[in-house]
Structure 1
Amino acid sequence: MADQHANPTRETPLTDDDVRAPSHAERARTLVSQQTTGTLSTLDPEGFPHGSYVTFALDGANPIFLISKLATHTQHLLRDAKASLMVHESRAEDPLANGRVTLIGNCAKVEDAASARDAFLAQHPRSAYYADFADFAFYRLEPKTVRYIGGYGRMSWVDIEDFRAASPDPLAPDAEGILEHMNDDHAEALVLYARAFTRAVDAEDALMTGIDRYGFELSVGTKTGRRPARIAFDKEIATPLEARQVLVALVKQARAKLA
């Protein structure tokens, strides 16, 4: 199967930039909500960054960690609370086409840990075995800065208040399955979308590379090469069933428009 997550955004798009799409804050919040591991970077006594592979969960917009005071990164945090968490996708054949987010702020032990505990154990239930060990405690990273990179040509510093206010995309848990289904079973429909709703009237083939509550993205094969396109839904959707219904309706619209 072709790489469905290849990001061809360095090429001239086939649709206008103002087609409704998730904000970078929404994309970043969605990406972080879909991950459970990342790299926690702390500062050693000489000020050098030290990266550790960790598990985490979100309590609101704040990453929560369950870490031992014996760990090197915990000792660093006890000296200096400045830290960052980098999380990333692991899907595309080209690693740099994957999205990634770095959350930068202060990370400190949670004194009233009820909410943090609930959030972490809901995501990592096996951690209940050692959550009450004397040397373990919950730590919370409170981001002050967010760096988002969504692959090639899509990146920005995200305002922290926008990040906190954003909600994860409701289709995100099912997006991979929707993409696989559309690309494997509905290749003809994807070409119809491209020919009817983008400037690629001569589209030869198309791959669906992304779908979200506001619309979907295509990588379209044309006589001049592959080009990106985005098609917006008429209304925001939230479930795979709604996605199926709107995609079926768009096929009918595309055929009528091209007739």
Structure 2
Amino acid sequence: MPAAPLSEPGFDATIVVRRLLREARTGALATLDADGAPYASLVQVATLNDGSPLLLLSGLARHTRNLARDARVSLLVDEQRHGDELQGARASVRGHIERVADAGTARRRFLARHPDAEGFAGFSDFAFYRLVPDSAHLVAGFGRITDVEGPALLTDLTDAGELLASEEGAVEHMNADHADAIQLYAMQLLGAGPGAWRMIGLDPEGCDLMAGLDVRRLPFPQRVTTARGMRETLVELANRARGATVDSPQ
């Protein structure tokens, strides 16, 4: 089926693909074997602060050996809907893989989403890799099939150094002292069910929440680049969720 423009009011293909990537826990990674044939494997997925897909791969795995020869990949992620999977949105992201330079941030963000991976994340044959997207092909239902340019999928971090430096402490603080607000974010703003919701990451455009295997993306109402702006935004979102004034997280 040819790509079609998404003319429905309020539907933004770029936002949908960004959300799919931010909420993904697994995906199908396609690499190229030595003879040029495609090889697909199931991988765990997280994201870096800029939204680029983050993978933890073993050097012994066939897909990693393929990447050493040819870094081109395609990663398929979907909404993980119950029932008919083909009724949900899915995106195939094409690009190339590169090893992550800042392994500390990558490890923290990956293990927040996949805590069971901690047992092998430190093995010498494992390393963190990011997918640098060239484009994405979105299928989100009838008449909602289109392509998105790769750079549009990433969050600009050039002016967000202060926010990134405070992310780890802010996430720990919210989970330790404001679990009630996180629960409200998930249930009242995102329509999720009750659960042990916790925050697993922050960036200038939103935060990621998780309960069990369910990951939800909470967009910020405006771009945030400072620690103070982040606190004010989280209070604003809590106010919206409660429908009343609340005290600021300290």
Which TM-score applies when normalising by structure 1? Answer: 0.57
Name 1:110's counterpart in structure 2. 100
For the 8 Å contact 1:130–1:136, the answer to whether it is kept is yes
Query: 1: distance between equivalents of 2:84 and 2:241?
Result: 28
Q: Report which structure shows greater RCO (CA 8 Å, sep ≥6).
A: 1
Pair 1:52 & 2:41 matched: yes
Q: State the match for 1:38 in structure 2.
A: 27
Contact 1:171 1:240 in 2 (8 A): no
Aligned twin of 2:111:
121
Q: Cα 1:240–1:74, aligned 2, differ >3 Å: closer, same or farther?
A: same
| CA deviation profile, 1:98-146 (whole Å, cap 9, x unmatched) | 1001111111222432222222112112212211111111111111111
Amino acid at match of 2:129: Y
- What number of residue pairs does the alignment pair up? 168
1:240, distance to aligned residue in structure 2 (A)? 8.9
Structure 1 residues 152 and 175, CA gap change in structure 2 (3 angstroms): farther
Is 1:175 matched up with 2:191?
A: yes
1:159 to 149, 165, 169: 149
Conserved 8 A contact 2:94-2:134: yes
Aligned equivalents of 1:18 and 1:100: distance in 2? Answer: 18
Residues 41-97 of structure 1, C-alpha deviations (whole Å, 9 max, x = no match) = 100001111100010110022111111111010100011100111001232533321
Aligned to 1:14: none
In the TM superposition, residue 243 of structure 1 has moved relative to its aligned partner by 7.3
1:85 to 71, 75, 81: 75
The 1-side partners of 2:52 and 2:40 are apart by 19
Find the aligned partners of 1:149 and 1:56 in 2 and give their Cα distance: 19
Return the alpha-carbon distance in structure 1 between the equivalents of residues 102 and 153 of structure 2.
24
Q: Report the Cα distance in structure 2 between the residues aligned to 1:241 and 1:48, rounded to whole angstroms.
A: 53
Pairing 1:1-259 to 2, within 5 Å after superposition: 19=9, 21-59=10-48, 60-91=50-81, 93-165=83-155, 174-177=190-193, 242=240
Question: Per the alignment, do residues 240 and 154 of structure 1 end up closer, same or farther by CA in structure 2, a change over 3 Å counting?
Answer: farther
After superposition, give the CA deviation of every residue in 1:199-246 in whole Å (9 maximum; x if it has no partner).
xxxxxxxxxxxxx98xxxxxxxxxxxxxxxxxxxxxxxx85974797x
CA distance in 2, matches of 1:171, 1:144: 32
SS of 1:108's partner is strand
> What 5-or-longer segments of structure 1 have no aligned partner?
1-16, 179-211, 214-237, 246-259
Point out where structure 2 has 5 or more consecutive residues left out of the alignment.
Answer: 1-6, 157-184, 195-217, 220-235, 244-250
Q: Contact 1:86–1:101 at 8 Å: present in 2 too?
A: yes
Task: Output the CA distance in 1 between the equivalents of 2:242 and 2:14.
Answer: 26
**Percent of aligned positions that are identical:** 36
* Structure (1 or 2) with the larger CA radius of gyration: 1
- Matched position secondary structure for 1:130: helix
Q: 1:240 to 1:50 in 2, by over 3 A?
A: farther
Q: Offset of 1:18 from its aligned partner? A: 6.5
